[in-house]
Amino acid sequence: MSYDPAAESVSIARLKPSYGLFINGDFTVPSAHDAFVTLNPATEAPLANVAQGSGADVDRAVKAARKAYDTVWSKTTGAERSKYLFRIARLIQERSRELAVVETLDNGKPIRESRDVDIPLAAAHFFYYAGWADKLDYAGYGANPRPLGVAGQIIPWNFPLLMAAWKLAPALAAGNTCVLKPAETTPLSALVLAEIIQQAGLPDGVVNIVTGDGSTGAALVDHPDVNKIAFTGSTEVGRLIQQRVATTQKHLTLELGGKGANIVFEDAPVDEMIEGIIDGIFFNQGHVCCAGSRLLVQESVADEVLRRLIRRVDQLRVGDPLDKNTDVGAINSAAQLARIKELTEYGEVEGATRYTSTCVLPDKGYWFAPTVFADVAQSHRIAREEIFGPVLSVLTFRTPEEAVAKANNTNYGLACGVWSEKGSRTLWVAERLRAGVIWANTYNRFDPTSPFGGVRESGFGREGGRHGLEAYLNV
Amino acid sequence: MSKSRVDVRKTYKLLINGAFPRSESGRSYEVTSAKGAFLANVAQGSRKDVRDAVVAARGAQSKWWSQSAYNRGQVIYRLAEMAESRREELAEHVALCEGLSKKESRSSVSRSIDRVVWYAGWTDKVAQILGSSNPVAGPFFNFSVPVPSGVVGVIADQESSLEAFLDAVFAPICVGNTVVVIASEQRPTPAVLLGEMTATSDFPGGVLNIVTGITGEIAPTLAQHEDVDGLDLGGLDEAFETELAVSAAGSIKRVLRSGHDDPASLRRLRAFVETSTVWHTIGQ
């Protein structure tokens, strides 16, 4: 089936040729006058020049945050903080179409997802935590819980604005000031958020946004006047950060990788289950830490599920992320594409059976066709390592005990899915899964009221819900 | 041209099911400022108006509750936005009704709007404070969630024309109830203004219904009404409060009595929620 193109207009993004660092309420020139180019991964065309924040810039940002904390924000009542956050939520809603286009240009994700998921959820997150700012006494941490101080927050490239919202909203609600470091390949929506923060009239220095690469993040982690580090990203980097923070008094929360199991029992509702598996792994090109990247399917229905999955994968529309009909967009970077290619090549070498969508990929940009591996063994790299791409590994099981054992056979523990019409069994399985989030007959659902986060090497701390406040309170 | 323009005066009407009718009885009564000056001829709601308002509230309740908590929060927040832009008008009426200075009445309005924002934030948090999962001794997943009582009747405070009115009304609304409120008999205009603002704040018609009138005449109808699930009697003198509390027992209403210290305490939010508990088996 073919559709006429229905592309969103690039001009809606209102991109500027270059962006400075957002420090103390203003866009400022980086101290070393360094900049890098952020690309559109779908075309490899440059989008804008972005400042490379140095250690000195991070220091300026932390000083601004400290001053704002001491002189303004720690003296601002919860009710007043609340109203600032409501303003930010409203401004995100008002500028949602612009933000969606910016996000899709910079990240490569389909506009349908940035428009319907990333941006509305980011606004909802600010709305939710706005309501907590004047209710901290009721949050279950005792009377008058205190903030931590200055929070350093480092976010990934897969949901750039949403991750900024997940970090900033609870931190500000709890009374902290922030220095946010967006991902190197996706800084733009955070910089639009900086404009929004200006429009909201947030006091100078309460939020500072310092763009840059890993060295910028490292400078933030190591800064002696930061009270809290919150990091979302790979387990590998999370480990390094935990080591560096271990020699200090800093508080730490980590939201790291995953190798989520989507467990399908023979009585699962078939149509919903197929769509759920597809959504679980191909949503956002599989650049999702909680992706259902391992499908565990009961042997009695494995052939049928695989047949239907492969047919469905072939129907996924891969291409221009700005096209409203696109299902799967561009891989975010050349480096990520290389990683996906390396691991999928291992999949074939180690003996798994590969099915790849016959879709036609664009000539320019970073692309990877949706791929399913059958006959995967638990020892295979594609069953153990996080691919972070549109690649599904299919394994089978016979009994609920075996499903649980296989699902838990990983160092990660972020999310799992269970598909069955039998509620009692779903709950039996859920009790035994070692994962921070378990979806039953659905997958990849997010809501500001629902705590999200991992166990084991998927990290610690929760984002969302009443629980998400704990990460930013001295309790 | 004349120097002083003759201003256009407002007719103060009821709010029932999203519309602004006069009383079906055709009656009105005179309301004066705290200093005794003529303020308005306010609609004098009848027992029939109260019953109509209860029908409207019942009709709206399932719709209001079926909207997501996030959505209900946004609707209430929208009211704060509307009220903010009409704060001078509200302050003027609070000053006239309560005999306050300009400064005092403005503070009262500021506190009131901030309180609306406070309630906007509660809609999606109440379940996280009042709900629980319960570790029963058996293979069951057992959880309790707060659900609204249904239709709540409020006899508003007679003195505090805006602040107390707002707490009494929006605490039950924010947890998913719909409300029929009898406004302060002698100080009803700030409540009427607030009701007008809800009409431009995306509230479904019938979520908030306001009846102005002679409290002693119409409050018993609300208190005895079989289709009212909860009753806030905080705005009455002790003898009348007790009398209505006795009559409310006829349909086992949840009754909030006067005498709570903090108007914005959890007690008010808890007053008109029920706890619904679900047992679900766990097993292969």
pLDDT tens digits for range B246-264? 999 999 999 999 876 566 6
CB B212 within 8 A of CB B186: no
A-contacting residues of B 47-106, CB under 8 Å? 69-70, 73-74, 77
| pLDDT tens digits for range B198-217 | 999 999 999 999 999 999 99
Q: List CB contacts (< 8 A) between A124 and chain B.
A: 70
Q: Cα dist. A83→A90, A134, B121, B251 in Å?
A: 11, 9, 10, 41
Closest CA–CA distance from residue A287 to any residue of chain B (Å): 27
pLDDT computed for residue B262 by the predictor: 67
| pLDDT band of A4, cuts 50, 70, 90 | confident
Q: Is A128 on the interface with B (CB under 8 A)?
A: yes
| pLDDT band of A1, cuts 50, 70, 90 | low
- Asked if pLDDT for residue B151 goes beyond 80, the answer is yes
Strands (E), A191-337: 207-209, 228-232, 251-255, 261-264, 294-298
The pair of three-digit structure tokens given for residue B69, joined into one six-digit string: 């908590």
* DSSP assignments along A402-426, one per residue: HHHHHHT-SS--SEEEEE-S-HHHH
- Where residue A30 falls (left for φ over 0; alpha for ψ -120 to 50; beta otherwise) is beta
Q: Chain B residue with minimal CA distance to A120?
A: B70
| pLDDT band of A169, cuts 50, 70, 90 | very high
Phi–psi pair at B134, nearest 5 degrees? -115, 120
Q: Name the β-bridge partners of B56.
A: none
| pLDDT tens digits for range A362-417 | 999 999 999 999 999 999 999 999 999 999 999 999 999 999 999 999 999 999 99
| pLDDT tens digits for range B27-47 | 999 999 999 999 999 999 999
Least confident of A194-198, B54-58, B122-126, B258-262: B258-262
Confirm whether A359 is a catalytic residue: no
Give the integer Cα–Cα distance in Å for B98 and B94. Answer: 6
Chains A and B: how many Cβ contacts under 8 Å?
Answer: 69
pLDDT computed for residue B3 by the predictor: 73
The C-alpha angle with vertex A74 and arms to A227 and A126, in degrees rounded to 5, equals 80
Confirm whether A255 is a catalytic residue: yes
Whose tokens are 């999370």? That residue is A238
- Asked if pLDDT for residue A100 goes beyond 80, the answer is yes
Neighbours of A34 (CB within 10 A): 13
Closest CA–CA distance from residue B83 to any residue of chain A (Å): 14
Neighbours of A267 (CB within 10 A): 14
pLDDT, mean over chain A: 97
Three-state SS for B21?
coil
Q: Do residue B121 and residue A465 have CB atoms under 8 angstroms apart? A: no
Closest CA–CA distance from residue B94 to any residue of chain A (Å): 22
Percent of chain B at pLDDT > 70 equals 98
* Complex ipTM: 0.93
pLDDT computed for residue B85 by the predictor: 96
A-contacting residues of B 208-267, CB under 8 Å? 266
Q: Chain A residue with minimal CA distance to B265?
A: A138
Q: Do residue B121 and residue A431 have CB atoms under 8 angstroms apart? A: no
Q: Is A78 on the interface with B (CB under 8 A)?
A: no
| pLDDT band of B91, cuts 50, 70, 90 | very high
Q: Chain B residue with minimal CA distance to A403?
A: B284
Contacts for A429 with CB less than 8 Å, ≥ 6 apart: A263, A400, A403, A404, A418, A420
Q: Calculate mean pLDDT across residues A417-442.
A: 98
Nearest to B284 among A128, A400, A465 (CB): A400
Q: Do residue B117 and residue A124 have CB atoms under 8 angstroms apart? A: no
Whose tokens are 């009398």? That residue is B243
Q: Calculate mean pLDDT across residues B166-195.
A: 97
Percent of chain A at pLDDT > 70 equals 100
- The two beta strands, A415-419 and A261-264, are parallel
Helix-helix angle B69-85:A119-133, to 10 degrees:
70
- Where residue A438 falls (left for φ over 0; alpha for ψ -120 to 50; beta otherwise) is beta
CB A103 within 8 A of CB A111: no
Give the integer Cα–Cα distance in Å for A165 and A448. Answer: 10
Q: Calculate mean pLDDT across residues A319-335.
A: 97
pLDDT computed for residue B10 by the predictor: 87
pLDDT computed for residue A196 by the predictor: 98
Give the integer Cα–Cα distance in Å for A128 and B71. Answer: 11
Q: Do residue B129 and residue A140 have CB atoms under 8 angstroms apart? A: yes
- Asked if pLDDT for residue B2 goes beyond 70, the answer is no
Q: Calculate mean pLDDT across residues A17-46.
A: 95
Distance of CA B281 to the CA centre of its chain: 40
| pLDDT tens digits for range A210-264 | 999 999 999 999 999 999 999 999 999 999 999 999 999 999 999 999 999 999 9
Of B154, B128, B135, nearest to B53 by C-alpha is B154
Strands (E), A300-440: 353-356, 371-374, 391-397, 415-419, 437-440
The catalytic residue among A8, A103, A178, A289 is A289
Q: Cα dist. A306→A267, A385, A395 in Å?
A: 15, 22, 10
pLDDT computed for residue A434 by the predictor: 98
The catalytic residue among A103, A255, A457, A463 is A255
The continuous run of DSSP H or E covering A169 comes out as helix A160-174
Distance of CA A318 to the CA centre of its chain: 21
CB B152 within 8 A of CB B231: yes
Q: Chain B residue with minimal CA distance to A421?
A: B284
Q: Do residue B280 and residue A466 have CB atoms under 8 angstroms apart? A: no
Q: Do residue B120 and residue A131 have CB atoms under 8 angstroms apart? A: yes
Q: Do residue A449 and residue B121 have CB atoms under 8 angstroms apart? A: no
* DSSP assignments along A75-132, one per residue: GS-HHHHHHHHHHHHHHHHHTHHHHHHHHHHHH---HHHIIIIIHHHHHHHHHHHHHH
Cα atoms in the Cβ-side hemisphere of radius 13 Å centred on A154? 28
| pLDDT band of B59, cuts 50, 70, 90 | very high
Q: Do residue B125 and residue A400 have CB atoms under 8 angstroms apart? A: no
> What pTM was computed for the model?
0.96
